[in-house]
Structure 1
Amino acid sequence: MLDFQAVRDREISLDELLAGVDKARLQAETNEMMDYILGQIGACTDADVVFTPVDPKANDPYASSEDEQEIAWNLGHLVVHVTASAEESAALAAEMARGVELHGRSRSEIPWETVTTIEQCRHRLEESRRMCLASLEMWPDQPYLDYIVETWKDGPQVNAIGRYVLGLSHAQSHLAQIDDVVQQAKTARS
């Protein structure tokens, strides 16, 4: 997996991390990320999916309501969030690769409350893998890699490859949280 932590820690730049990364590498990174998360939840049960963990750092300023801003995310919530972020980055990257002018966000996140079984989590991850990989097939043979955009106010400036990997980076930033929730759920059912 790409070491996004080195970028977060400002040891290297995103451009340095992505030197030599191409569409084939993005496909491999996508598969590796989805396989990793599927491995993390491999022994989980339906009860683990809806288990509410303890998370004293819970803070979601983008929550759909004030009531949800400080709730700890269960496994279903994490899977829905991570996959929606990956898909959004993949969709925007496909447009950038084709030279389409940035027009805002491209996000669709199913209600996390509807994901209550481990099979739904696995399905969501596999569906997201399929969608992200399919988005790469929309890239032309000669993508517009000189088309650079600012990802958000004061955020990094990226081309299509950078935009795509921001979804993977976001997923990677939640891996320890997924491990923690899985461990708490396992302990609770022991």
Structure 2
Amino acid sequence: MGTIYSKQERCHLAEINYSRALEINPQSSVILCHIGIVQHALKQTEKALKTFNVAIANNPKSPLCKFHRGSIYFALGRHAEALKELEELKEIVPKESLVYYLIGKVHKKLGNTDLALMHFSWATDLDPKGASSQIKEAFDPSIGRTTSSESPTSPAAEEFLADRRPGLQPEALNFGNLPDDSEDSF
């Protein structure tokens, strides 16, 4: 039910139902990750970070939790923490273009243009169809759009997925062939 409410953007009801699921399985990093996503959508950023911290403590290799925590750090301007999180994530999911794209955006914000270009290039190599226009926009916002607005919920995910997967919610990212969180299953 939490997933359905989340897809309907009824975040408060989603959080209630995810919390009920967490009562059944209190160690589930998957449920905690969904709660963190919903909390961030409700503009409860600090609460969401605490939730992601608990989820990652329960399962340190949870790629979705690490990605969302890194995205929040980026949105908050905590670029060093975002970069650390994303570099760890890159080791877990080395073929996920979205990770490289967000690392490129962090490096761009830090003024490391050469590292930004390198990571954007790797993102393009991993997903040639989805990355090219977003990477061009990262360096020249006037390309393709008249205004640039970064979403507080998941800036890189929404920009990157806009053309790549229309209608896909940031919480539904496909990190292909990830290890499942089987220890978290009911």
Q: TM-score, normalised by structure 2?
A: 0.28
More RCO (CA 8 Å, sep 6+): 1
Q: TM-score, normalised by structure 1?
A: 0.28
Task: Choose between structure 1 and 2: higher helix proportion.
Answer: 2
